[in-house]
Structure 1
Amino acid sequence: MATGIDRGSSAPWPYPRLVAHRCGGTLAPENTSAGFDACVRYGYRMVEFDAKLSADNVLFLLHDDTLDRTTNGHGPAAAHTWPELVALDAGAWRGAEFVGTRLPTLADAAERCARDGIAANIEIKPCPGREVITGTLVAQGALALWQGRTPPLLSSFSFDALAAARDAAPSLPRGMLFEQVPADWLRIVSELDCVSLHASHRYLSEPLVAQIRASGLRVLAYTVNDPTRARLLAQWGVDMICTDRIDLLT
């Protein structure tokens, strides 16, 4: 294994069971410092967030390819420079109490993780056509920013982005993201040298979880907002449960 975390499912695992989706779930503007505040408030020790590149190749947090849904900006995120992006309001859409919230950089997120003792799952979220460069720069940035601490778990729906991350920072752990787990999942995760497989909880079953874990992989289920479902997934052996309801899943 090239990664610094043992792939064996019986080996020590450095990440907690519960993961806050997009930093703060539904309690704060997604992918912002306000989400970290919510995590601290509810005792969460791990966040998931989305990282992409500005036009001038600054690593920052945003889920969508466009700015319209979660900021007062418009159009493709990849067409804007960081000075343009950092001037946007990324909180007003979520509520008056969040007016003036700014988009954070990956460095900002690393600083919050260090300050609050929070682990990270960084989803590499490339804009169309920028898969390789985004995977490369996110991995390089994460390697430098989390040096000396529990490494962030990198994940992506993009095979090319995760392959680029593997090549750029082979020591960082990786997890392949699927919605529904495909028949050839083992070939894909083996080629990417993953330590985990991440999938929508709606398509997971107890036999499938057992099969994945028997291969030596850990399992992350997203986005689980019902406590009863979360308990069942944990009974099946799911290692990480990503949720929007950090106020319900404790």
Structure 2
Amino acid sequence: MLDWLIPSRPLSIAHRGASAYAPENTLAAFALAADLGADMWEVDLHQTADNQIIAFHDFTVADGRAVSTLSYSELRLVVADDEAPLLSEIIALAQARDCGIYADIKAPDASVTVSRMLQMAGVERAILGAFDPVAVRALRDVNSPYPLAALIPVGVDPFAASEGADIIHLCWENLDRPQDLLDEMFFARCTETGQHVVLWHEEDPARMAELRDKPVLGICSDRPELVNPVRFLGDLQVVCHRGANKIAPENTLSAAHACFAAGFSHVEIDVHVTADDQLVVLHDPTLDRTTNGTGPVCDHTFAQVQALNAGQWFAPFYTNEPIPTLDEMLELAKSYRGRLYIELKSAPANLVWDRVVAHRMQDRVFFWSFVTQSLHDMRAISDKAHLMMRRQDFDTLEEVLASLSPSLVEYTVSDDWSDFPELRRRGIPAMIAYNGDDREVLSRIIGAGADMVNLDQPFLFAELCREKGVAE
């Protein structure tokens, strides 16, 4: 049996690439999936009228014509520039990024051609699957060297429909609790038939937490980082500065999703108040840089802010990304059992604290602000609010700890880290903040023994931690 078919954890199979963060079935989505730790890319494959194999999900293009009736040059005239890449391009990218290919063959007549193209390119990690049993039989008849998967829709007997296949791929994403059907009896039957199991595309963090411990070969997801989130050895916590701002637009729900799904503990957000006292998440005091609006946030009503988008500046995929509310960020953090670092910008402390309490997140949030009065206001409101203080703002550690009773102390890479043992003795976490991407600096942070890190490059940090054996 191929070694990669006996993984120590489920394979992360990026559904049409990292399709939660980039247009599906595009080279950009596949490359991003590699950045997010995917082991394989699920690719929908069609064949054009002139026998070109392309990645495209639907059987028809926007004007209703079937993909199979169009030549590749005709197809290129009616799809976006980044849509419908050639399989040969995907293979080259997969080899460059060391990722496997999970082919969902939409055109049965193309199945043998797909297998031969992969073989000729020297691809070792590939799975060939299809809903149509004709494709699986054709591959079996030519002794394709790759594992074959039968894609099983809801309401179909998985064992009867997967006869002759090595893998049962359950497409059960539309059931309320499909995980309940994956019981011991089901997996015992799989053992009897000698078949592996791959699961539908899953994006719900609670369900994924149950699924990743099942004895399955792999799990498809639009968020491939969700399948096997990073686990840091010890109690290290990672704060993601403005969310995963290299993956998605900063301070958006998409950027926060990527952080929490990947296993990072905190998302740092910036909170402003609108003209009608609603709390929204945005870094700048003005709308100009990261939205299609102009002028100060606080001069706009909530309705006006809601009508804007906060993502088009980052990529066309995010044209409809809204400016999130603080309530939405709190709710998202709760859904992942995550935490927030809230920086008070123009937002009044009392309004922010009221929302945190309403979501029962008092112990899962800490606060800081350049506006010192905001921190004093927060402490006056509650002695239970977790405040952060920066070491660089004080001459001595004693002065830091005497100021507003902080729950944690932040250090830069230029600060003296010799305070850490004393903070640990007092039960107060030390956090190192670094917004750069220098691997040497990040490696020094890994060895510093801090309790928390606040980073602009959390995925790079996690990669280095894995290399050093302090994360898995």
The CA deviation at 1:214 is 5.7
1:161 aligns with 2:374: yes
CA distance in 1, matches of 2:244, 2:396: 33
Aligned pair count reads: 227
Give the CA deviation at 1:181.
3.8
5+ residue gaps, structure 2, are 1-234, 463-472
Query: 2:409 is matched with which residue?
Result: 197
Q: Is the 8 A contact 1:162 1:176 kept in 2?
A: no
Q: Pick which of 73-82 and 138-147 moved more.
A: 138-147
Q: Could you tell me how far apart the structure 1 residues matched to 2:390 and 2:296 are?
A: 23
* Matched residue type, 2:410: H
Equivalent positions of 1:149-228 (< 5 A) are 150-177=363-390, 180-183=392-395, 186-199=398-411, 201-210=412-421, 213=424, 216-224=427-435, 225-228=437-440
Q: Distance in 1 between matches of 2:242 and 2:429?
A: 20
Code of the residue aligned with 2:314 in structure 1: it is R
CA 1:184–1:86 in 2, change beyond 3 Å: closer, same or farther?
A: farther
Letter in 1 for 2:244: G
Q: Distance in 2 between matches of 1:210 and 1:226?
A: 26
Post-superposition CA distance 1:164-194 (Å, at most 9, x none): 111223212111246x343156435423111
Aligned to 1:235: 447
Larger radius of gyration: 2
Residue aligning to 1:75:
295
Aligned residue in 1 for 2:358? 144
Moved segments of 4+, more than 3 Å: 208-217, 224-228
Letter matched to residue 461 of structure 2: L
| CA drift at 1:227 | 4.5
**Distance in 1 between the 2:312 and 2:434 partners?**
24
Shift of 1:59: 1.2
Give the 3 Å change call, closer, same or farther, for CA 105–189 of structure 1 in structure 2.
farther
TM-aligned CA distance change 1:206 to 1:220, over 3 Å: closer
Give distance in 2, aligned partners of 1:22 and 1:153.
14
Q: Does 1:55 align with 2:275?
A: yes
Q: CA deviation at 1:77?
A: 1.0
CA–CA distance in 2 between the matches of 1:185 and 1:157?
A: 19
CA distance in 2, matches of 1:189, 1:86: 40
Match for 1:117 among 337, 348, 365?
337
Given the superposition, is the C-alpha separation of residues 184 and 53 from structure 1 closer, same or farther in structure 2, using an over 3 Å criterion? farther
> What is the Cα deviation at residue 145 of structure 1?
1.7
Q: Match of 2:313, SS? A: helix
Distance 1:189 1:79, change over 3 A: farther
Given that residues 237 and 264 in structure 2 are in contact (C-alpha distance below 8 angstroms), is that contact kept between their aligned partners in structure 1? no
| Counterparts in 2 of 1:232 and 1:164: CA distance versus 1, 3 Å | same
Q: Give secondary structure in 2 for the equivalent of 1:247.
A: helix
Q: 2:286 aligns with which of 66, 69, 85?
A: 66
- Give CA-to-partner distance per residue, 1:19-67, whole Å, 9 cap, x none: 1111223221111111122214433232111112111111111111111
Change (3 A) 1:77 1:185: farther
Match for residue 266 of structure 2? 46
Whether the 8 Å contact between 1:21 and 1:47 is mirrored in structure 2 is: yes
TM-score (norm 2): 0.45
Is contact 1:124-1:134 (8 Å) kept?
Answer: yes
Structure 1's unaligned 5+ residue stretches are: 1-14, 127-132
**Identity of aligned pairs, percent?**
27
Picking from 200, 219, 239, the partner of 1:19 is 239
Q: Which amino acid aligns with 1:173?
A: H
Q: Aligned partners of 1:164, 1:124: CA distance in 2, in Å?
A: 11
Q: Which has the higher contact order (CA 8 A, sep 6+)?
A: 1
The equivalences for 1:94-109 within 5 A come to 94-109=314-329
